[in-house]
């Protein structure tokens, strides 16, 4: 299994790379989850985008947002694996890379996420702790979680 990680900011992505990223995110967050919302937002312009490829094909992605752009802490969001790759167990390596990058870019600050409630145990296994009650975001229950700085 050849897994590769590619970090980019929006300004360095080609039009085709951006199209591939947006198409993948919309396939999961808008179509599969049946959520009508503004998937591409103003945060994308400043975020770092992680594209994960498996044997050369886009399989998963996430974005890292600087402190103050979404939460007071740096955050990881838009975490997803494309349906065709879900049996490959990419969630853990995807999040490990996103956490590594975030801690390197913003050392000593910790990380905040807004995670889907059903993934709470997964995020806890990565060191995140629940810091909010469940809330509805676009028809899906979420919770805020924080991972303390290493």
| pLDDT average, residue stretch 64-81 | 96
Question: What six digits make up the tokens of 128?
Answer: 């995140």
- Segment among 3-17, 27-41, 48-62, 136-150 with least mean pLDDT: 27-41
Q: Give the ranges where the chain is alpha helix by DSSP (H).
A: 15-26, 91-105, 120-125
pLDDT value at 36 more than 80: no
Q: Of the ranges 31-40, 99-108, 110-119, which one carries the lowest mean pLDDT score? A: 31-40
Q: How far, in Å, are 21, 62, 83, 147 from residue 88 at the CA level?
A: 19, 17, 10, 25
Specify the higher pLDDT residue, 95 or 30: 95
Residue-level pLDDT at 31: 82
pLDDT at 18 over 90: yes
Q: What is the pLDDT of residue 94?
A: 96
CATH superfamily of 3-147: Gcn5-related N-acetyltransferase (GNAT) (3.40.630.30)
Domain boundary assignment for the chain: 3-147
């Amino acid at each position: 299994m050849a897994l590769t990680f590619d970090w980019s900011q929006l300004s360095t992505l080609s039009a085709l790379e951006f199209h591939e990223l947006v198409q993948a995110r919309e396939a999961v967050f808008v179509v599969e989850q049946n959520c009508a919302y503004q998937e591409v937002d103003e945060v994308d312009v400043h975020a770092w985008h992680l594209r994960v490829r498996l044997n050369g094909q886009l399989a998963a992605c996430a974005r890292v947002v600087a402190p103050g752009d979404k939460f007071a802490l740096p955050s990881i969001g838009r975490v997803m694996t494309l349906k065709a790759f879900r049996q490959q167990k990419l969630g853990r390596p995807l999040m490990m890379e996103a956490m590594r990058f975030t801690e390197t870019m913003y050392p000593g600050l910790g990380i905040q996420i807004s995670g889907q409630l059903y993934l709470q145990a997964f995020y806890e296994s990565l060191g995140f702790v629940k810091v909010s009650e469940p809330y509805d975001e676009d028809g899906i229950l979420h919770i805020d979680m924080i991972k303390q700085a290493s």
